[in-house]
């Protein structure tokens, strides 16, 4: 249940297990530049500054080059964080479109953190 921190605003978004970065941000009320939402168009790339993530589907070579697979480029509609991650949007165009979802997500994050604090060191296994 990783958190996504958005650089540089410091917004923190809580993700469901196995949830993609794009899905998490939209579910928390935000919007940014996306296209197909299905890993095909490469428009939704963000940069991952900290933390690790994997892809929940094969991603086409034409969408993500070999270099981009190691330089922190994060195809957000297919990227599933394995740890807490910090991302930076490329166009700097994070838009709040639904503040109610934002509040719900913030409460969920706080609940998850409280729960984690109450059950220390259960060990987080990263998913492939």
Binding site for ligand FES (CB under 6 A): 34-37, 39-44, 63, 75, 77
Q: Which residues share a beta bridge with 54?
A: 80
Q: Binds 87, which of other proteins, ligand FES, none (CB < 5 to 8 A, cut-off by type)?
A: none
Q: Which of 73, 56, 55 is nearest to 64 (CA)?
A: 73
Six token digits for residue 94:
């994070």
Closer Cβ to ligand FES, 22 or 28, answer by number: 22
Residue the block writes with tokens 């993609």: 20
Q: Is 89 helix (H, G, I), strand (E, B) or coil?
A: strand
Q: Binds 75, which of other proteins, ligand FES, none (CB < 5 to 8 A, cut-off by type)?
A: ligand FES
Least separation in angstroms between CB 77 and other proteins: 8
73-75 vs 45-50, strand pairing mode: antiparallel
Least separation in angstroms between CB 100 and ligand FES: 24
User: Interface mask (CB under 8 A) for other proteins, residues 22-61, using x and -?
Assistant: -----------x-xxxxxxx-x-------------xxxxx
Start-to-end CA distance of the chain, whole Å, equals 14
Q: Is 38 helix (H, G, I), strand (E, B) or coil?
A: coil
Binding site for other proteins (CB under 8 A): 33, 35-41, 43, 57-63
């Amino acid at each position: 249940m990783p958190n996504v921190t958005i650089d540089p605003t410091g917004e923190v978004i809580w993700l469901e297990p196995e949830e993609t970065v794009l899905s998490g941000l939209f579910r928390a009320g935000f919007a940014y530049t996306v296209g197909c939402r299905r890993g095909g168009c490469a428009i939704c790339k963000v940069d991952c500054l900290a933390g690790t993530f994997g892809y929940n589907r094969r991603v086409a070579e034409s969408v993500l080059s070999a270099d981009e697979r190691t330089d922190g480029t994060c195809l957000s509609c297919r990227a599933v964080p394995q740890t807490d991650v910090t991302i930076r949007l490329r166009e700097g165009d994070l838009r709040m479109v639904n503040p109610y979802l934002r509040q719900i997500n913030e409460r969920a994050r706080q609940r998850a953190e409280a729960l984690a604090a109450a059950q220390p060191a259960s060990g987080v296994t990263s998913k492939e």
